[in-house]
């Protein structure tokens, strides 16, 4: 118990410090994460770079791969792009190991000296700093300090095992039996669901002089397989391609392990038998981990398309149902990276906005054509809009509970308002369809003048919404100002047309029933322009 309790406590501090540091880095990166994603092209080489950078920032290849599964599931990333990011994630995860091992080749980074200073400096910055950026930097520094305290605590806890014959025999067995070594690394990593933390444990044992070279090599390869469990679990219930992405990660690491296991067996059993018996250092563990991941990437990069094909064959499931009627760019896995999740929410809102636009253009004609198919289409699209709005709103509320920058919080709040305005425009489209049904039932129609006026008003409100949607998608201030101009024009037209209509009613130029529909339609059209203006004003606030 004198060993287990301090070791577990140290592991907890190590993982907690890693998470704090990663969260601070992620918050500090902000929209740069989105910029990195946008830089991703069909060129897998850039995908590898992206995966390495993101994983270096969030300190977890598992988290990056889960994020990739989410992107694929949301349709933001294709499998070829995902393959590149997955390979890069394996490279990026080696950064934590180098941070830990730096104490061996940079004495001034000794945990005994650096950890207390880092934690104190971080706390002072957190208390003194008033800006969000200061708090993000303080989180990075504090996390760094806690991480080092954790690794020191683990190393000190296992120091007495240095003289344990049983413990030494266990590692000798792992070093002489590649399968057991790989299995041990995979199981431990699968349990704690972090290859960085698993490597940290191995380094703490190495610091106490407990780990033979050969055992460490096999365990490291197993750790890379164990880290795939998180992504595999996250793909449960996801779409076919998301399952394929998770299996791509698993296949990549299994194939790499097979290749390097053969090399290791040749080295330790044939070429240099005594090499595997020596004790490994923390720096050598970092180097071995890096060589394995970079080497696997270099070897498998040219044949990565074959890995995708194989993963597809292992992921044979029924094709998903049509997703037109629901949000497809949203995925719970992406909430771990709030900045990117927010951008996905914006993309999904734009998609909903396009659906509303289609309904509005259809409604522009249906009130005059009274076409039953168009009426049904508008009603079906309104149901889709309602479902999408509900899903996006729920997702945005969950996102708002995550750690967001001040700017991102404002954007999320603005997005909820824009969603509401778009949904209301969709409701008015359904109203136009109902007006058409009413006119068909009463077998009445508007006068020629009334038709011309409604068409003129409808053109204005449709134009105002189209401009508002364009302003939203492109953050275009000029479009937003044009919306305001169109809304003012709609207000003036509504007053003029209402007065003209009342005059026609007095002169018995139109039926009372058609007249009621005319006034209701006029009100709905004016309100479409009002909601379009609301969207435009939100964009102007966002871009000010």
pLDDT of residue 134: 74
394 and 518 in a single domain? The answer is: yes
Give the pLDDT mean for 30-39: 55
Residue 480 within a domain: yes
Q: 248 lies in which domain range?
A: 4-313
Q: Are residues 270 and 407 in the same domain?
A: no
Q: Reply yes or no on whether the pLDDT at 405 is more than 60.
A: yes
pLDDT band for position 25 (cuts 50, 70, 90): low
Q: Confirm whether 320 is domain-assigned.
A: no
Q: Are residues 346 and 454 in the same domain?
A: yes
Residue 541, CA distances (Å) to 52, 120, 407, 506 in order? 35, 39, 11, 45
**3-state SS class at 279:** strand
**Helical axes 132-158 vs 4-29, angle rounded to 10°:** 160
Pick the residue with more confidence: 514 or 356? 356
Q: Is residue 228 part of a domain?
A: yes
Bridge partner list, 279: 212
Residue 284 sits in the same domain as residue 375? no
Mean pLDDT for 483-511 is 85
- Is residue 2 classed exposed, middle or buried when 0-12, 13-18 and 19+ CB atoms within 10 A define those classes? exposed
What is the rounded CA–CA span in Å between residue 531 and residue 543?
Answer: 19
Question: What value does the mean pLDDT take over residues 278-282?
Answer: 88
For position 105, what pLDDT does the model report?
A: 62
pLDDT at position 240: 79
Distance (Å, whole) CA 94 – CA 78: 25
Structural tokens at position 379: 């009603």
Distances (CA, A) of 237 to 20, 133, 232, 333: 30, 37, 11, 12
Does a structural domain hold residue 325? no
Long-range contacts of 193-196 (CB under 8 A, 24+ apart): 193/62, 193/227, 193/229, 193/230, 194/15, 194/18, 194/60, 194/62, 194/227, 195/60, 195/61, 195/62, 195/93, 195/223, 195/224, 195/226, 195/227, 196/18, 196/59, 196/60, 196/61, 196/93, 196/96, 196/97
343 and 278, same structural domain?
no
pLDDT for position 107: 59
Q: How much is the pLDDT for 518?
A: 86
Position 98 scores a pLDDT of 84
The DSSP code sequence of 138-183 is HHHHHHHHHHHHHHHHHHHHHGGGGG-HHHHHHHHHHHH-HHHHHH
| Number of domains within the chain | 2
Strand (E) or helix (H) holding 270:
none
| Pair (383, 285) in one structural domain | no
Question: Which tens digit of pLDDT belongs to each residue from 372-392?
Answer: 999 999 999 999 999 999 999
Q: How many CB atoms lie within 10 A of CB 367?
A: 26
pLDDT for residue 322: 45
Please give the share of the chain, as a percent, with pLDDT higher than 90. Answer: 35
Domain boundary among 253, 280, 313: 313
Whether residue 270 is found in the same domain as residue 372: no
Global confidence as pTM: 0.67
Same domain flag for 85 and 133 = yes
Q: How confident is the model at residue 367 (pLDDT cuts 50, 70, 90)?
A: confident
129 and 227 housed in the same domain: yes
SS3 305: helix
State the Cα–Cα distance between residues 139 and 105, nearest whole angstrom.
25
Mean confidence (pLDDT) of the chain: 83
Taking the CA atoms of 247, 250, 251 and 252 in sequence, report the sign of the dihedral they define.
positive
Whether 427 is in a domain gets the answer yes
Domain end among 313, 345, 366: 313
Return the bridge partners of 212, or none.
Answer: 279
The reply to whether 261 and 119 lie within a common domain is: yes
Q: How confident is the model at residue 22 (pLDDT cuts 50, 70, 90)?
A: low
Of 313, 348, 370, which marks where a domain is finished? 313
pLDDT digits (tens, 9 = 90+) for 295-350: 999 999 999 999 999 998 887 654 444 444 556 667 777 777 777 788 888 989 99
Q: What is the pLDDT of residues 423-475, one digit of tens each?
A: 999 999 999 999 989 888 877 777 788 888 889 999 999 999 999 999 999 99
444 within some domain: yes
What are 138-185's pLDDT values in tens digits? Answer: 887 888 788 778 877 877 787 777 667 776 677 778 878 899 999 999
Termini Cα distance of the chain: 60
| CATH code for position 466 | 1.20.58.220
Among 68-82, 143-157, 262-276, the range of highest mean pLDDT: 262-276
Residues 269, 351 within the same domain: no
- Tell me the average pLDDT across 256-260: 95
Report the alpha-carbon distance of residue 422 to residue 445 in Å, rounded. Answer: 29
The answer to whether residue 232 scores a pLDDT higher than 80 is yes
Half-sphere exposure of 397 (CA within 13 A, CB side): 6
11, part of any domain: yes
Higher pLDDT, 356 or 516: 356
When comparing pLDDT for 508 and 360, which is higher? 360
Any domain includes 329: no
* pLDDT over 80 at 44, yes or no: no
If asked whether residues 161 and 288 sit together in one domain, one would say yes
């Amino acid at each position: 118990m004198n060993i287990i309790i301090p070791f577990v406590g140290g592991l907890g501090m190590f993982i907690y410090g890693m998470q704090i540091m990663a969260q601070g880095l992620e918050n500090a990166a902000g929209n740069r994460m989105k910029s990195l994603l946008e830089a991703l092209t069909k060129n897998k080489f850039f995908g590898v770079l992206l995966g390495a950078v993101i994983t270096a920032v969030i300190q977890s290849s598992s988290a990056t791969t889960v994020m990739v599964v989410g992107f694929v599931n949301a349709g933001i990333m294709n499998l070829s792009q995902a393959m590149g990011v997955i390979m890069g994630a394996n490279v990026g995860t080696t950064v934590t190991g180098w941070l830990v091992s730096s104490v061996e080749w940079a004495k001034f980074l000794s945990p005994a000296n650096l950890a207390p200073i880092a934690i104190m400096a971080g706390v002072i910055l957190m208390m003194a700093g008033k800006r969000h950026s200061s708090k993000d930097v303080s989180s990075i520094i504090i996390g760094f300090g806690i991480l080092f305290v954790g690794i020191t605590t683990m190393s000190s806890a296992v120091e007495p095992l240095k003289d344990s014959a049983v413990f030494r025999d266990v590692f000798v067995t792992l070093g002489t039996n590649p399968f057991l070594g790989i299995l041990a690394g995979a199981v431990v990593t699968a349990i704690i669901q972090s290859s960085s933390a698993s490597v940290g444990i191995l380094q703490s044992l190495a610091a106490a002089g407990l780990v033979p070279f050969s055992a460490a090599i096999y365990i490291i390869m197993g750790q890379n397989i164990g880290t795939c469990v998180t992504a595999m679990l996250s793909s449960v219930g996801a779409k076919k391609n998301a399952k394929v992405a998770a299996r791509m990660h698993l296949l990549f690491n299994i194939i790499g392990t097979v290749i390097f296991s053969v090399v290791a067996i040749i080295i330790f059993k044939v070429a240099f038998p005594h090499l595997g018996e020596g004790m490994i250092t923390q720096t050598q563990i970092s180097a071995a981990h890096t060589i394995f991941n970079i080497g696997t990437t270099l070897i498998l990069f040219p044949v990565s398309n074959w890995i995708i094909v194989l993963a597809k064959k292992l992921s044979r499931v029924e094709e998903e149902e049509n997703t037109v009627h629901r949000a497809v760019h949203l995925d719970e896995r992406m909430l771990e990276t709030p900045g990117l999740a927010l951008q996905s929410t914006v993309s999904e809102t734009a998609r909903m906005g396009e659906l509303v636009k289609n309904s509005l253009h259809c409604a522009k004609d249906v009130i005059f054509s009274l076409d039953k198919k168009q009426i049904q289409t508008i009603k079906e699209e309104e149901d889709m809009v309602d479902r999408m709005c509900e899903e996006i709103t729920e997702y945005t509320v969950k996102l708002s509970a995550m750690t967001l920058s001040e700017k991102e919080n404002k954007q999320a709040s603005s997005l909820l308002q824009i969603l509401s305005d778009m949904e209301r425009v969709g409701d008015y489209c359904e109203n136009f369809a109902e007006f058409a049904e009413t006119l068909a039932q009463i077998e009445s129609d508007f006068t020629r003048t009334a038709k011309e006026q409604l068409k003129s008003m409808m053109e204005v409100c449709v134009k105002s919404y189209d401009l508002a949607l364009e302003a939203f998608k492109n953050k275009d201030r000029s479009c937003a100002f044009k919306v305001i101009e169109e809304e003012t024009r709609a207000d003036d037209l509504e007053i003029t047309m209402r007065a003209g209509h009342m005059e026609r009613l007095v002169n018995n130029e139109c039926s009372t029933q058609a007249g009621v529909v005319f006034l209701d339609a006029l009100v709905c059209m004016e309100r479409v322009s009002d909601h379009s203006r609301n969207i435009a004003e939100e964009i102007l606030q966002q871009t000010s």
